[in-house]
């Protein structure tokens, strides 16, 4: 049930207004909306309250709410649908499904059909480097996944993925193999984990014999390695991923503003 009392907002706003580090009111509303998303008040794919209702809930103007919602939409946490309202973004949504995959064909505008194949899923103790990235203790239980991505039936990407075991209890090879949902969509529906942003580092590498065998190329073939840390609400790391991309017919595309 919506809390119509403005106490939380007032307490948050007063120190900001009085202190040196001023936070605009719409940013405070944005933070409260993210807290509601994080608590699961509105699930992925669900309609959130109207701007009028949110303005009444937080005791602010509709314009302030609109600015907060606009920023969350720009960050792909919310999706606006003309004439229908604003919805919580979900990786089941077609235009969000491959938001973190920036692989584009060298010719034409369509990347073609992408198919995922899970090769491995097992539990292990977190190595120190992975533990630091996931903000867990070294030796804590994590889950590792290896999967391949095929573009137009050709092996194109090998992903090694590490997840915190505590957040993904029950994730098995059988569950992954049986699921028809995109991987991040499965994380949403089965484990309540929404990936909302990611940081990446790119470098050129040579194919190891193992990776070369999977991608059906010669060992030493130039590949693009993409190291990613994905975060849920509140900037909590939930995934470490290392992907190696075969780029003979594809390139990594990004837009900079």
DSSP-H helix ranges across the chain: 7-18, 25-39, 51-58, 62-74, 94-97, 128-134, 173-178, 183-191, 209-215
Residues 6+ apart with CB under 8 A from 152: 112, 113
Tens digit of each residue's pLDDT (9 = 90 or more) over 80-126: 998 899 999 888 765 555 566 667 788 764 556 778 899 999 999 99
Q: Where do the domains of the chain lie, and which CATH numbers do they carry?
A: 25-88 (1.10.10.10), 103-252 (3.40.1410.10)
pTM, entire model: 0.80
Structure tokens that stand for 89 in this block: 């973004």
| pLDDT of residue 154 exceeding 60 | yes
Compute CA distances 100 → 12, 200, 243, whole Å. Answer: 33, 10, 12
Coil, helix or strand for 72? helix
- Burial of 195: CB neighbours in 10 Å, binned 0-12, 13-18, 19+: buried
Tens digit of each residue's pLDDT (9 = 90 or more) over 38-80: 998 999 999 999 999 999 999 999 999 999 999 999 888 999 9
What gap in Å lies between CA 159 and CA 242, rounded to an integer? Answer: 6
Structure tokens that stand for 16 in this block: 């900001």
C-alpha gyration radius of the chain: 21
Closest by Cα among 30, 37, 97 to 67 = 30
**pLDDT confidence of residue 60:** 95
The helix, strand and coil proportions of the chain, stated in percent and rounded to the nearest 5, come to: 35, 30, 35
């Amino acid at each position: 049930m919506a809390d119509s009392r403005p106490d939380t907002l007032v307490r948050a706003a007063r120190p900001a207004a009085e202190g040196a580090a001023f936070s605009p009111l719409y940013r405070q509303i944005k933070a409260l909306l993210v807290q509601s998303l994080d608590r699961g008040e509105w699930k992925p794919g669900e309609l959130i309250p109207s701007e009028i209702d949110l303005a009444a809930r937080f005791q602010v103007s509709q314009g302030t709410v609109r600015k907060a919602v606009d920023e969350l939409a720009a960050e792909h946490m919310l999706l606006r649908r003309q004439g229908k309202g604003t919805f919580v973004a979900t990786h089941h949504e077609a235009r969000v499904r491959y938001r973190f995959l920036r692989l584009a064909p060298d010719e034409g505008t369509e990347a073609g059909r992408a198919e995922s194949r899970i090769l491995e899923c097992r539990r292990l103790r977190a190595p120190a480097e992975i533990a630091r990235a996931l903000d867990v203790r070294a030796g804590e239980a994590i889950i590792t996944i290896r999967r391949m991505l095929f573009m137009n039936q050709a092996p194109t990407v090998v992903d090694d993925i590490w997840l915190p075991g505590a957040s993904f209890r029950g994730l098995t090879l059988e569950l992954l193999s049986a699921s028809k949902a995109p991987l991040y969509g499965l994380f949403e529906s089965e484990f309540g984990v929404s990936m909302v942003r990611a940081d990446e580092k790119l470098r050129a590498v040579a194919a190891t014999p193992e990776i070369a065998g999977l991608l059906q190329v010669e060992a030493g073939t130039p590949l693009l390695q993409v190291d990613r840390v994905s975060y849920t609400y509140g900037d909590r790391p939930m995934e470490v991923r290392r992907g190696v991309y075969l780029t003979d017919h594809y390139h990594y595309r990004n837009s900079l503003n």
